[in-house]
């Protein structure tokens, strides 16, 4: 069975959307992953097929009903992790993406309106995931983002490139800056070291750039990276060796 993404949504027509083109689209057509959008509204029970209602306690907007979503969820084969996209969830990380991509697939629940009745999260095993500290109008774009990150890691989708452990976050650092042709653009040259053919120097330069950029742009990542280095035994050894040289 290929990696299977079941997406519960009020807008199944948004899928595969951007995942139907380029690498993910080709992989979908080749059967390297499969997609099953589920229309939540099909599980509504009243004659108006309602999926939402006004918030208990008052306030703006509408809230998605736990009973309707639970019925939709219970119709999906179990065994794969169930994720709900919500700004109240744990921030998505490359580490979590890797773990998900190594599994059999995911079931993703996309919210709309003001969100979902909290009792759903008490009554079902659901991992709440956020893609960042901003508010989208619905969970569909967040689901597409999560799936894109997973799919590029599936075997055969990207070839060698996807195993690149240099990439931003894989090492706990941002990636070093990249350059390509032309050799001179608007008077700007490519750093000399990258044209030297000296692989050891290139690697050292890239490492230094990755560290500087991470420190300046993402002090939060840098602090975690430095902390891990200082506290792990192998990190401490690496450090000592660097100090001596
Ligand atoms: N009132 C809610 C936001 C609702 S936004 C709150 O303040 O927490 C509507 C839906 O969009 C959410 O149910 C969720 O599925 C999706 N969504 C919005 N922002 C998101 C984010 N940063 N990450 C993941 N999903 C998000």
Check if the beta carbon of residue 203 is closer than 8 Å to that of residue 193: no
User: Do 88 and 209 belong together in one domain?
Assistant: no
Q: Which domain holds residue 188?
A: 166-244
* Residue 170 Cβ < 6 Å to ligand 1: no
Distance of alpha carbon 6 from alpha carbon 80, whole angstroms:
10
What does pLDDT average to over the chain? 93
Q: What is the CATH number of the domain that holds 212?
A: 1.10.1270.20
Say if 54 falls within a structural domain: yes
Distance 135 CA to ligand 1 centre (A): 5
**Residue 93, number of CB atoms within 10 A of its CB:** 12
pLDDT of residue 164: 61
User: Do 86 and 182 belong together in one domain?
Assistant: no
pTM summary value: 0.92
Tens of pLDDT along 184-210?
Answer: 999 999 999 999 999 999 999 999 999
End position of a domain, from candidates 151, 181, 207? 151
> Would the annotation count 190 as a binding residue?
no
Cα dihedral 67, 116, 79, 19, rounded to 10, equals 120
Say if 161 falls within a structural domain: no
Distance 110 CA to ligand 1 centre (A): 9
User: Do 109 and 76 belong together in one domain?
Assistant: yes
User: Do 74 and 29 belong together in one domain?
Assistant: yes
User: Do 187 and 237 belong together in one domain?
Assistant: yes
Task: Please name the residue that has the structure tokens 């309106």.
Answer: 113
Tens of pLDDT along 36-64?
Answer: 999 999 999 999 999 999 999 999 999 99
The count of structural domains within the chain is 2
Closest C-alpha among 38, 39, 33 to residue 147: 33
pLDDT of residue 233: 66
Say if 66 falls within a structural domain: yes
Strand order across the beta sheet in which 127-130 lies: 33-39, 3-9, 105-110, 82-91, 127-130
Say if 117 falls within a structural domain: yes
Report the residue count for the chain: 245
């Amino acid at each position: 069975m290929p990696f299977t993404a079941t997406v519960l949504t009020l807008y199944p027509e948004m899928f595969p959307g951007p995942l139907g083109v380029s690498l993910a689209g080709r992989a979908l057509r080749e059967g390297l992953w499969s997609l099953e959008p589920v229309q939540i509204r099909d599980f509504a029970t009243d004659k108006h097929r309602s999926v939402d209602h006004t918030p208990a306690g008052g306030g703006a907007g509408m809230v998605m009903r736990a009973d309707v979503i639970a019925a939709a969820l219970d119709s999906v084969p179990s065994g794969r992790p169930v994720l709900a996209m919500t700004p109240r969830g744990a921030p998505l990380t490359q580490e979590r993406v890797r773990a998900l991509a190594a599994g059999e697939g995911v079931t993703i629940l996309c919210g709309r309106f003001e969100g979902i009745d909290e009792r759903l999260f008490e009554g079902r095993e659901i991992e709440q995931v956020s893609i960042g500290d901003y508010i989208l109008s619905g969970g569909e774009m967040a689901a597409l983002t999560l799936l894109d990150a997973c799919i590029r890691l599936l075997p055969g989708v990207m070839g060698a490139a996807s195993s690149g452990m240099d990439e931003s976050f894989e090492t706990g650092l941002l990636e070093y800056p990249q350059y390509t042709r032309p050799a001179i653009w608007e008077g700007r040259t490519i750093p000399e070291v990258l044209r030297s053919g000296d692989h050891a120097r290139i690697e050292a330069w890239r490492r230094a750039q990755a560290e500087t950029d991470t420190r300046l742009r993402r002090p939060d990542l840098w602090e975690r990276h430095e902390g891990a280095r200082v506290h792990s035994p192998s990190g401490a050894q690496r450090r000592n060796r660097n100090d001596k040289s």
